[in-house]
Structure 1
């Protein structure tokens, strides 16, 4: 198999490497009674505009956070690493989505079972994406200056749907009921795998996707290219057989995250971000404060794009959420501030997203009256941040913080007075608050 483009030592002549399209993108108490109390204690803290959380202004339902396991390209997760990734206890990541490949060779299918089955035992959702159909279904063609480009033969669409269906049945028979399967991973960045045009994908969705026994994801554009997904949304027959519009965010600008056409045409469909690493695959995942880019990226994916799932590339990698030694990285800690506290079925609600420059806030409700707030402070100064909860039901708030010196450090509980509390956001940190 061809290795992933992000890990190749060289790039194919005549096309742009994935990396080149990526966007150039002191210990404090976390909770205080009021800004004046922080000043009295000698803690410098910049004032910020109030964050108003409105639990009645509901947005998207969150399906989960997770990552990829690909046993044909890197070693499988160990049993201990599976529990670290998908367990939701102290020292675990709380991932609730696992993405696996649909290998073109049936002999490779069994390699994905052990991790997928353990993820399911932890309550996770499993989705699958193919890179290539079986070789006898593929033909080569000339695409620009690529003389060996690959595509699915047009007389093999039915056979390919059966291939995907057989993978779904195989995983089900081995204890993994796939939540969804994709038509193709990155059909518009396929120098090392199989190309599809929007018209080809529309034809497959119209004529063949309905025969597959699980939900369908498409198109998984590498850069959320709307010109690839627009034709699907504008074709009622194709759209009828699409369940999840999947997208990748490699180098996608934040201003391109919103998708008005999906809001217009996608009623009854879901919107998932099914693969990314950010900001790059070259730096250590423990580099700080660069790892805070992950927290900001998730914020924009949930608030601006309104994705319902956020899925990293490899779960365990030097640039990933889990280090090669199985420990949670700084990038991973940013993810865990969402994944362990914002559980599947929680609903994002309105909250003031930018109370000051460099501070990003989002809020979610679930578990009865529980409200989860995640605040990223990219600034070099601590911030004393006031919060007001619209329903006034909370009486206590708990918090966890990650900064240069701490990873997901708990900070106990504090009272909520008349629906308000003030949280201290350390310089260059991410903090999760949970009310109760």
Structure 2
């Protein structure tokens, strides 16, 4: 980055560069936090957004509502979570398949609200009912092969009870031994069930959902050709792992993660770490990002129901990059601490930019194979949430101001 000190000579230099690159500078309106330092870092590399270079389909951004463990969301909290106009705009709710069928319908109210806002529901199974397992317990043990058909029927009944799921997982973190509700299964065992009953489980299969997005575990699972053919989505969690590109011909979903349960969801550094983590998942070619609990002290919504900084950061993606959008090519990392991803739906372009630097920056862009007369910029900082401003486009070029340690979303007009 090249540091430009504010002054008459410096301003002439900046304006000259903008003219040469057909860029239009944007002065923040009162909503966008103004630059309070004596310097602006001008990014030398123009970030090129190529709408014709399409990548993965985006299914959405979401969080978990595990009623038996945290209680259900209230009506107001559901709106805060799922509304793309007045809330975070989460478009995926992840629920648990209970071990007691009497609890099947308890998740339906939240699922229905998520769907009403254009979202979807997915479900994961921590444990099959105890009688279907080798140890006759909801903790540990393995699904008995003789119970495959019964377990598939159980999943079908759950899917029907909640009104239909976009995907269902027969196992949650089967490669991780814990002392709570769980099943330990090898990749071969998970694949054996899906090969036998994956098309009889009521909803498209997402699997195998390993704890650490273990590549060898996923590869072993996919080596069963029948299981692979019956799997709609490859799912996993990134605890202890960094998002990476999986060379497989299936959509990849990150279905659970949180960064630190001891840090408030209002902690700005932690929220910006989450912003970068979502970027990393999208940049790895993945199609969904699902946080752990929606309502938690360290989650997007606090225990008292307020949207926290983490929630506003997630909204920078979830409100504007809706299910069915396509990720498109862009200059992903034009400078140290600056990260960009771009998406489209028909002629609409959405760009999410992260500035992890401690200085205000000017970020230039160029559109390729797309047209826009302007953008609306939404910015969240340590002191402001989703404040908006207008950005003009000249020819195919434009530029934005970004405060230090901030995230901005640009939506084409």
TM-score by length of 1: 0.84
**Structure 1 unaligned blocks of 5 or more:** 1-31, 142-147
Asked whether the 8 Å contact 1:34–1:422 carries over to 2, the reply is: no
Q: Partner of 2:149 in structure 1? A: 158
Which residue, out of 286, 305, 314, partners 2:266? 286
CA distance in 2, matches of 1:106, 1:431: 44
**Correspondence for 1:295 among 275, 289, 294:** 275
2:163 aligned with 1:185, yes or no?
A: no
Q: What's 1:226 paired with?
A: 215
Deviations 1:232-278 (A, max 9, x none): 22221111111111111112124xx1112x1xxx2xx3211111112
> Aligned pair in 2 of structure 1 residues 35, 220: CA closer, same or farther (>3 Å)?
farther
Q: CA deviation at 1:33?
A: 13
| Maintained 8 Å contact 1:46/1:381 | yes
Q: CA deviation at 1:282?
A: 1.1
* Conservation of the 8 A alpha-carbon contact between 1:35 and 1:422: no
Structure 1 residue 34 displacement after superposition: 9.8
Cα separation, 1, equivalents of 2:113 and 2:151: 28
Q: Distance in 1 between matches of 2:193 and 2:375?
A: 50
Instruction: Count residues in correspondence.
Output: 381
1:277 lines up with 2:258 in the alignment: yes
Shift of 1:35: 4.0
> C-alpha offsets along residues 172-221 of structure 1, whole Å, 9 cap, x if unaligned?
xxxx2211111111111132311111111111111121222320110011
Distance 1:342 1:156 in 2: 41
Out of 325, 330, 334, the residue aligned to residue 351 of structure 1 is: 330
Show the counterpart of 2:18.
Answer: none
Shift of 1:392: 5.0
| SS of alignment partner, residue 150 of structure 1 | coil
Change (3 A) 1:429 1:194: same
Distance of 1:396 and 1:117 partners within structure 2: 35
TM-score normalised to the size of structure 2? 0.88
CA 1:43 to 1:391, structure 2 compared with 1: closer, same or farther past 3 Å?
A: farther
1:415 aligns with 2:392: yes
Q: Determine the C-alpha separation between the residues in 2 that align with 1:43 and 1:324.
A: 40
Paired position in structure 2 for 1:69: 65
- Which of the numbers 363, 369, 377 marks the counterpart of 2:355? 377
What is the RMSD computed on CA atoms of the aligned residues? 2.0
Q: After TM superposition, list the pairs within 5 Å mapping 1:243-254 onto structure 2.
A: 243-254=232-243
Partner of 1:425: 402
Pair 111,190 (structure 1): closer, same or farther in 2 beyond 3 Å? farther
Equivalent in 184, 202, 208 of residue 191 of structure 2: 202
What do the CA deviations read for 1:384-427 (whole angstroms, capped 9, x no partner)? Answer: 1101011351111110111111011112x131001111111110
- Does residue 403 of the first structure (1) align with residue 381 of the second (2)? yes
Q: Using a 3 Å threshold, how does the CA distance of structure 1 residues 372 and 34 change in structure 2: closer, same or farther?
A: farther
Cα distance, 1:43 vs. partner? Answer: 6.1
**Residues 3-402 of structure 1 aligned to structure 2 (within 5 Å):** 35-36=14-15, 44-48=39-43, 49-89=45-85, 91-140=86-135, 149-171=140-162, 176-191=163-178, 192=180, 193-254=182-243, 257-260=244-247, 262=248, 266=249, 269-278=250-259, 280-303=260-283, 305-366=284-345, 368-402=346-380
Kindly indicate whether the alpha-carbon contact (under 8 Å) linking 1:38 and 1:45 is maintained by their aligned counterparts in 2: no
Contact 1:392 1:418 (C-alpha < 8 Å) held by counterparts: no
- Report SS of the residue matched to 1:140: coil
Unaligned runs of 5+ in 2: 1-10, 16-24, 28-34
Q: Distance in 2 between matches of 1:38 and 1:240?
A: 50
Counterpart secondary structure, 2:302: coil
Q: In the alignment, which residue of structure 1 is the partner of 2:8?
A: none
Q: Is the 8 A contact 2:26 2:400 kept in 1?
A: no
SS at match of 1:373: strand
Structure 2 partner of 1:12: none
Displacement of 1:289 in angstroms is 2.5
